[in-house]
Amino acid sequence: MIMRPLRLLIVAVAVLALALPAVGLAGPPNKAGATRGVVQSVDASQIVLRALDGSVVTFAVMPRTPVRVNGSRAAITDVRPGFVARVVYDAQSRALLVEAFGANAPAITTDRGVVTAVTRSTITVRAAGGVTVTLAVDASTHFRFHGAPARRQLVRPGAQVAVTHAGDVPATIVNVLKRAGA
């Protein structure tokens, strides 16, 4: 049932992207700018688009290039051929930002539970039913206490949290619902 509205959304986004003026979007490779188009191929080091003017352009993807899929932070491996994408690039054709829209994006989920372990790069949460989930965190993960910005130090074993993430990418938000020992 959800597939039909999702397909309609994808078609609407593709039509909108193709209807936008193509002036300056494909740009010469020796100038910085932005290009919109349909993803032809993608891997960890590059993304190839068929731009709105019909040209095929290739951009280098660096390990720290921000990637957004359907408006949410994602990994470059979450971008698939056929997605509609916008790439902001520098004068050397290196991608500075990749924004893509498509149907095969990872679902955004929120895991709730009690923190059992914390490291610099992970948080382990025991969810309802005793299921244990270990989630990655990084410098762009936002920490909150009852929805308000907070420090990472609130996340300790025993705290009740809600962790929002998409696929295998680091968590976007860790919301502390109840402090440890409270």
Model confidence, pTM: 0.50
Say whether 108-178 and 3-14+24-101 share the same fold: yes
CATH number at 108-178:
2.40.50.320
Buried/exposed 30-65: b ≥16 CB within 10 Å, e otherwise: eeeeebbbbbeebeeeebbbebbeeeebebebeeeb
Q: Is the pLDDT of residue 9 over 80?
A: no
Q: Where are the domains of the chain?
A: 3-14+24-101, 108-178
Name the pLDDT band for 168 (thresholds 50, 70, 90).
confident
pLDDT for 95-109, tens place per residue?
999 999 988 666 778
Report the pLDDT averaged over residues 124-136: 90
**pLDDT band (50, 70, 90) for residue 113:** very high
Query: Which CATH number is associated with domain 3-14+24-101?
Result: 2.40.50.140
Predicted confidence at residue 38, as pLDDT, reads 94
